[in-house]
Amino acid sequence: MEQTIRPFLRRVDQFGSFVLAIQGAAIAAAHGLDLLGVLVISLISATGGGIIRDVLIGAQPPEALRNAVMVTIGLAGGLLTFFAYHTVSEIPEILLLAIDAVGLSLLAVAGTEKALEYDLKGPVAVIMGGISGVGGGTLRDVLLAQVPRILRQDFVASSALIGAIVLVVARYFKVPPGWAAVLGGVTCCVLRVTSELMHWQLPVVNTH
């Protein structure tokens, strides 16, 4: 079973990273960055969360640096977006939201599963899932001199964390790993889309 799950999780991680690479590159292009800037942002968006996760759980060197696959995925997403920016920018907003939700879900699931493979406890695995999902986007925002979006608006990180919790709880109750991953991923994806459409926000301090 483990030999089957590992390649599947790797593909999940790669697809989610490609989605984030395109998203990061589009944001960088909209900020007026040149080709190198767009590629740097796309690469960091694609690999940042996974690298942080792997460093924290002791997977050395990080998966993204062990071979050229993840780097290639990040650069490919950046190049595709740079040379086809007008096509990418014309994608309907609802479709972009769906793609973003899928990418977030895949990375959160892959990150949680990898943490569990390293025998980390449930709460830590949940945190690793959240970091995998939003770490790249956080680094992207910092490089673009912005307060990270996950700290000021939206329900993005919360969706990733809740999806990771569902996965961990399902595994605790002996749900097969594949089905647990599906449950966690679907939960994250549905929450991400619903929260955006319904304009859900976490409460903030009333400073007035």
The domain total for the chain is: 1
Structure confidence at residue 98 (pLDDT):
86
For residue 207, tell me if it sits in a domain: no
Structure confidence at residue 8 (pLDDT):
67
For residue 135, tell me if it sits in a domain: yes
Q: E strands of 72-208, at which residues? A: none
Most confident of the ranges 4-8, 56-60, 139-143, 204-208: 139-143
For residue 97, tell me if it sits in a domain: yes
- Which range of residues forms the domain containing residue 194? 2-198
For residue 38, tell me if it sits in a domain: yes
Three-state SS for 23?
Answer: helix
Spatial neighbors of 166 by CB under 8 A, at least 6 apart, are: 183, 184, 187, 188
Indicate if the pLDDT at residue 135 is higher than 60.
Answer: yes
Round to whole Å and give the CA distance between 54 and 60.
7
Average pLDDT over residues 31-53: 93
Average pLDDT over residues 55-66: 87
For residue 192, tell me if it sits in a domain: yes
For residue 27, tell me if it sits in a domain: yes
Q: Which residue type is seen at 196?
A: E
- Share the mean pLDDT of the chain: 88
pLDDT digits (tens, 9 = 90+) for 80-128: 999 998 888 888 888 888 888 888 898 899 899 999 989 999 999 999 9
Average pLDDT over residues 127-143: 92
Least confident of 52-56, 113-117, 126-130, 153-157: 153-157
Indicate if the pLDDT at residue 4 is higher than 60.
Answer: no
Average pLDDT over residues 173-187: 92
Q: Which residue has 């697809």 as its token pair?
A: 15
For residue 131, tell me if it sits in a domain: yes
Round to whole Å and give the CA distance between 11 and 43.
17
Indicate if the pLDDT at residue 66 is higher than 90.
Answer: no
Structure confidence at residue 1 (pLDDT):
41
